[in-house]
């Protein structure tokens, strides 16, 4: 499967975003109102609060105790947990959507996590930083060191992100485990969707992050 087969979203512009992050608005747009959602790695609960305003029953898992407690103090249904170890506790089909926002690269077993997302949820929404982004490539090619950006400022030795991938890599993983890609979007440096239907290698070069709406493929 290639990105060309997947329709880009009629997305939101950065100007519409207000207090919310552009990638969160994009994710929220992919979720049907009234559905039940699990946000894995929900941080301070900003996305869950955005979903709540759209009448979505949102739950969250967050690794850091501080993040969890801030979420719970906002009245959100969030539990402390680890995407790698705690997703197994959820039953099949428990949610309409399971969201993994900017967390896949920090998991120990991205493939197992992805499989679990689509076991627990009928659909999954996954966003991650694209390591094929031209600035990443340039830093490695010209600078000769591991890339660092505004969004990923940590050094190689203290980063929590242990499984970086490119948009191309991710598409190949989805193909390998039989995941169907319903919608795909690449965001530029400013979180704006790349509006044009471009060949995937352009997205892989100019997308700073990828956002994918996935469902179970045939045979799953």
Residues that bind another protein (CB under 8 A): 57, 59, 65, 68-69, 71-81, 86, 89-91, 94
> How open is the CA angle 45-48-53, to the nearest 5 degrees?
130
Please count the residues of the chain. Answer: 220
Q: Assign residue 137 a region: left if phi > 0, alpha if psi is -120 to 50, beta otherwise? A: alpha
Quote the least distance from Cβ 197 to another protein, whole Å: 38
Quote the least distance from Cβ 100 to another protein, whole Å: 16
Our CB check for another protein shows the closer of 25 and 63 to be 63
C-alpha 47/C-alpha 28 separation (Å) is 8
Instruction: Pull the structure tokens for residue 36.
Output: 């039940």
Our CB check for another protein shows the closer of 34 and 75 to be 75
Please provide the DSSP assignment of 189-202 as one string.
Answer: TTSPBP-S---HHH
Our CB check for another protein shows the closer of 3 and 68 to be 68
Quote the least distance from Cβ 47 to another protein, whole Å: 16
Our CB check for another protein shows the closer of 75 and 199 to be 75
Quote the least distance from Cβ 139 to another protein, whole Å: 38
Which of 6, 2, 1, 5 lies closest to 185 in space, CA to CA? Answer: 6
């Amino acid at each position: 499967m290639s990105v060309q087969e997947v329709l880009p979203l009629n997305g939101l512009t950065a100007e519409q975003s207000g207090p919310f992050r552009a990638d969160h608005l994009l994710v929220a747009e992919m979720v049907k109102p009234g559905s039940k959602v699990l946000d894995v790695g929900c941080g301070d609960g900003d996305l869950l609060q955005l979903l709540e305003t759209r009448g979505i029953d949102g739950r969250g898992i967050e690794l850091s105790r501080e993040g969890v407690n801030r979420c719970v103090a906002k009245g959100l249904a969030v539990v402390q947990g680890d995407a790698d170890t705690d997703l197994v506790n959820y039953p099949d089909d428990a949610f309409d959507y399971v969201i993994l926002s900017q967390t896949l690269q920090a998991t120990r077993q991205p493939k197992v996590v992805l499989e679990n997302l689509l076991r627990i949820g009928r659909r999954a929404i996954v966003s991650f930083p694209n390591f094929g982004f031209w600035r990443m490539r340039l830093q490695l090619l010209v600078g000769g060191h591991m890339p660092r950006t505004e969004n990923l400022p940590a050094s190689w030795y203290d980063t929590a992100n242990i499984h970086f991938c490119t948009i191309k890599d991710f598409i190949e993983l989805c193909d390998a485990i039989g995941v169907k890609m319903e919608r795909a979007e690449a965001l530029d440096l400013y979180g704006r969707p790349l509006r044009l239907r471009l060949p995937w290698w352009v997205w892989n070069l100019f997308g700073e992050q990828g956002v994918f709406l996935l469902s179970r493929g045939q045979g799953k």
